[in-house]
Chains A and B, each alone.
Chain A
Amino acid sequence: MQNFWEYLTKIPVGLATVFKTLFEKPVTIQYPEEKKPMSPRFRGRHQLKRYEDGLERCIGCALCAAACPADAIYVEAAENTNEERYSPGERYAKVYEINMLRCIFCGYCEDACPTNAIVLEPIEFPTGYTRESLIYTKSMLLEPPPPGVPGTPQQTPPGKYDRAILPFPPIDESV
């Protein structure tokens, strides 16, 4: 009997919480129509970066694939020519695939990359209805060229891009 009275007094307390939150701003957001701002260092979907002149940073070395603990990355390389150049140096990634179902977003690929070409960006997470659609190919991963700059392949003058690995630019400490 004593318990009954206890229950009865607790009900208005609970309802008070309910009515209070009714007038508060909701926590849930309508993903994917609505998106939550993410930390710039968030390890989301991968992006293959480009240099300012539009050339791909990726040189097809497959060190990301070697570092990947989930065996999610597959790379096939090919040789650049001055007539058809994708990246600086002799080698570029002809095939670059990431199986997003396997990826555990650990970021080891970023660490392994000698040209900072692959970056896990705070952009939308990969979703899909089939397994095939979640194998991201190079065209899906590659960032668009900067405005007004042609994409790849480019025709380049001989001798200008004979080095695959360029000294890194200074690290941006703001992010």
Chain B
Amino acid sequence: MAELVNLTIDGISVRVPKGTLVVDAAKSVGIDIPVFCYHPKLKPVGMCRMCLVDIGTPKIDPATRQVVRDEKGQPVIVFGPKLTTACTTPVSEGMVVRTATEQVRAAREDVLEFLLASHPLDCPICDKGGECPLQNLTMAHGPTVSRFDYDLKFHNDKHVPLGDLIFLDRERCIQCGRCVRFQSEIADDPVLQFHDRGRGMEIVTFSDPPFDSYFGGNTTDICPVGALTTADFRFKARPWELKTTPSLCTHCAVGCNLALNTRLETKTGGYEIKRVMPRQNEQVNEIWICDKGRYVHHFTRAEDRLHYPLIRQDGKLVETTWEQALRIAADRLERPSAILVGDRIANEDAFLIAQFAKAIGAALEQRPALPAHYADVARAVGIGSDADFKQLGAGDVILVVNGDVEEEAPVWFLRLRQAVVDRGAKLIVAHHRSTKMHRYAAAIHRYEVGQAAKWAASQRADWLQGARNVLIVFGDEHLDGSSARALAQTLANWLILGGFAGKPNSGLLPLYPHANTQGVFDMLEHATRPANETTDTLWLVGVGADEPAPRANFIIVQDILLTERAKRADLVLPALSFAEREGTFTSGDRRVQRFYRALPPLGEAKPDWWIVQEIARRFELPWRYEAPAQIFAAIAQQVPRYAELSYERISRVEPQWPPMGREDLYYGGTVYDNTGGLGARYAADAERSALSPYDVHVPEPTLAGLERTPRLLYRDGELIRRSAVLRAHIVAEPLTA
């Protein structure tokens, strides 16, 4: 526990850890000191001068080094002759801060008058208008009139593209440098910088391609004015028109908490996602999301979304009714059948499918198939149920094996990088090529492509000895199933034999391909049976277009879009996307989280669990679930690991620190506060009982494994193709070694 310091802010006694800044100490007791350049996630710079306050410290007698006391025994407080910036001053014992004096009020008014001297005041057309810190703080602290002549306002470029995703309005920029500092301190893509001085000062990007970062969208959130806007949301809606729904990102294993902003739209005649914003969850994504999560949402209202069931008649897919589609599906599934399940569907859907497959004796497989080879190992020796990335620091070892964290789980990259760079954890990277993580590595190991498992087996891993915690992040790049399993088992053995298994901040962190890989594995585990040649009917539930599938006489595709796979199907069942329904996902670190319905359903599309239940009813299975909450209650009863979880528990919200809700726009940016629940991790097996080491058999690399190319963030796929702003970023050719 850090040393605590006592101080007084506006007469309120505050007790905060040593090193806390005055602005944060004030925030902890609900006193708002206005800021522009300061952001609690970034290092203070004291550039905007908005946070000026009156700070006094106890007078010290130079001779005795004792605090001088007046006749009443109270310490004599000496205030500085000038105001001090609260964002760069750490607290000290006995400090007295005054934020409500006439001097402070006048200083704030003057700073705002200067900031507005050449600010264009085009709030009516500014995307930030309505959620703008400059607007709000001007209303609260600013002068009512400016002494500057309106006609002398300095004019500047209003449409400067910084890359194709972010636009800069040079007039609106107040040179706080939050974007510059985010890119260099948090994302470590230092592609933005100040150029020139004085009135000519501007933000420039000097990378090629410009603003080359996966995290650029976050700069628009923390920009305290409307200087940075995204190409996606530019002029799309005013902030006060938007409805906000808590949701989850579906594109990688991190499970970032999102807020979906929706609005009525004439084009689609209904609600539409206008923008995707981060939702604060200090345990998962803090307040950051990657650009993929921010911009890929367009598939939810893509033109080829499925509205009605389709059946193949005379070689063509034609619309049909649910009654007929379900009857045909049930008839065909009576023959020898196989069900393939994609890992983007919710836990509730996967659970019902597993129960159904068991009941009718169908084969059942997870797609992509690779993670299912090691998901049980990752779960057994996973990080503790109350692990916190923020506690990783000096004395801890982070090991990244065969995975590209920035590409496969971008927000974990941000968090692990901070543990290493800011808090002094030791990073060891083992990979056959260079990744961004290599920049911070204390030690680098290399091996031949596809030899990760062999490399790991040959190591004695004595570099883990003496560490406080060991977090091992691993991927399945260029590995086949058995090699990936051997790698996971070897890494798990290091943790088990080193005594790290079961410790809260130690464990395996797998880089799964999608949001619910772990959850689908957990649900399907005891019902999985590989498909064989006798398959007559094949039912694909949310399976990607490039996944291999066995041959079958009749193919049922259940999807949200008319994908290439659906176009070749015999029967197409329309499902609802994550934005139109409720459910839960289990992230790569086993955190079960809820997402909520943000959009009305499209046509007659139905949630996956409803479709499965309706087909099951035709097999006389007695299910009468009416909502995912009921199915989750059944999961808690029947899947032992989920026994402690419930919708009530995972919907619980605690106050987050630093507070960044909508009340604190000036402080944290336009991120949304968490109203949908923080989620909860289920316990790793190692936390329940001691594990014995795995018996590892390391196979030779196979061609199938070598063909498993790296999973890049902007890899081609059915969803990213439907996002116009990201289309130019799609990596057509898979990265080969």
Whole-angstrom distance between the Cβ of A147 and the nearest chain B Cβ: 29
Number of A-B contacts (CB under 8 A): 50
Whole-angstrom distance between the Cβ of A53 and the nearest chain B Cβ: 19
Instruction: Please tell me if A143 contacts chain B, counting CB pairs below 8 Å.
Output: no
| Cβ–Cβ contact A78 & B235, under 8 A | yes
Most-contacted residue by chain B among A60, A61, A74, A97 (CB, 10 A):
A61
Whole-angstrom distance between the Cβ of A110 and the nearest chain B Cβ: 14
Whole-angstrom distance between the Cβ of A61 and the nearest chain B Cβ: 4
| Cβ–Cβ contact B125 & A89, under 8 A | yes
Q: What 0/1 readout, one digit per residue, does chain B (235-256) give for beta carbons within 8 Å of chain A?
A: 1101011000000000000000
Q: How large is the interface on A (under 10, 10 to 19, 20 to 34, 35 or more residues)?
A: 20 to 34
Whole-angstrom distance between the Cβ of B171 and the nearest chain A Cβ: 9
Q: Report Cα–Cα, A95/B265, bound state, in Å.
A: 10
Instruction: Please tell me if B158 contacts chain A, counting CB pairs below 8 Å.
Output: yes
Main secondary structure of the interface of B (DSSP, over half): loop
Q: What 0/1 readout, one digit per residue, does chain B (117-137) give for beta carbons within 8 Å of chain A?
A: 000111011000100000000
Instruction: Please tell me if B15 contacts chain A, counting CB pairs below 8 Å.
Output: no
| Cβ–Cβ contact A164 & B124, under 8 A | yes
* Interfacial chain A residues near B313, Cβ < 8 Å: none
Instruction: Please tell me if A91 contacts chain B, counting CB pairs below 8 Å.
Output: yes
* Interfacial chain A residues near B125, Cβ < 8 Å: 59-61, 77, 89-91, 164-165
Main secondary structure of the interface of A (DSSP, over half): loop
Instruction: Please tell me if B150 contacts chain A, counting CB pairs below 8 Å.
Output: yes
* Interfacial chain B residues near A164, Cβ < 8 Å: 122, 124-125
Instruction: Please tell me if B159 contacts chain A, counting CB pairs below 8 Å.
Output: yes
| Cβ–Cβ contact A77 & B235, under 8 A | yes
* Interfacial chain A residues near B238, Cβ < 8 Å: 61-62, 66
| Cβ–Cβ contact B241 & A165, under 8 A | no
Q: Report Cα–Cα, A59/B158, bound state, in Å.
A: 15
| Cβ–Cβ contact B122 & A79, under 8 A | no
* Interfacial chain B residues near A76, Cβ < 8 Å: 265-266
Whole-angstrom distance between the Cβ of B60 and the nearest chain A Cβ: 55
* Interfacial chain B residues near A54, Cβ < 8 Å: none
Residues 121-175 (chain A) with a chain B CB within 8 angstroms: 162-165, 167
Whole-angstrom distance between the Cβ of A111 and the nearest chain B Cβ: 13
**Among B124, B150, B235, B264, which residue has its beta carbon within 8 angstroms of that of A79?**
B235
Q: Report Cα–Cα, A49/B213, bound state, in Å.
A: 43
| Cβ–Cβ contact B266 & A95, under 8 A | yes
* Interfacial chain B residues near A65, Cβ < 8 Å: 241
* Interfacial chain A residues near B155, Cβ < 8 Å: 162-163
* Interfacial chain A residues near B158, Cβ < 8 Å: 90, 162
* Interfacial chain A residues near B235, Cβ < 8 Å: 60, 77-79, 90-91
Kindly report which residue of chain B lies nearest to residue A91, judged by CB atoms.
B125
* Interfacial chain A residues near B722, Cβ < 8 Å: none
Whole-angstrom distance between the Cβ of B158 and the nearest chain A Cβ: 6
| Cβ–Cβ contact B124 & A61, under 8 A | yes
Kindly report which residue of chain B lies nearest to residue A81, judged by CB atoms.
B159
* Interfacial chain B residues near A79, Cβ < 8 Å: 234-235
Kindly report which residue of chain B lies nearest to residue A162, judged by CB atoms.
B158
* Interfacial chain B residues near A78, Cβ < 8 Å: 235
**Among B236, B240, B266, which residue has its beta carbon within 8 angstroms of that of A66?**
B240
Most-contacted residue by chain A among B124, B155, B238 (CB, 10 A):
B124
Q: Report Cα–Cα, A76/B266, bound state, in Å.
A: 9
Q: Report Cα–Cα, A164/B169, bound state, in Å.
A: 13
* Interfacial chain A residues near B264, Cβ < 8 Å: 74
Residues 19-40 (chain A) with a chain B CB within 8 angstroms: none
Kindly report which residue of chain B lies nearest to residue A95, judged by CB atoms.
B266
Pairs A-B, 5 closest by C-beta atoms: A61-B124, A91-B125, A77-B235, A114-B124, A164-B125
9 interchain pairs (CB within 8 A)?
A66-B241, A89-B122, A90-B125, A115-B124, A163-B155, A164-B124, A165-B121, A165-B124, A165-B125
> A89-B125, A165-B124 are known contacts; what are 9 more A-B pairs with Cβ within 8 Å?
A60-B235, A65-B241, A78-B235, A79-B234, A89-B122, A91-B235, A163-B122, A164-B124, A167-B150
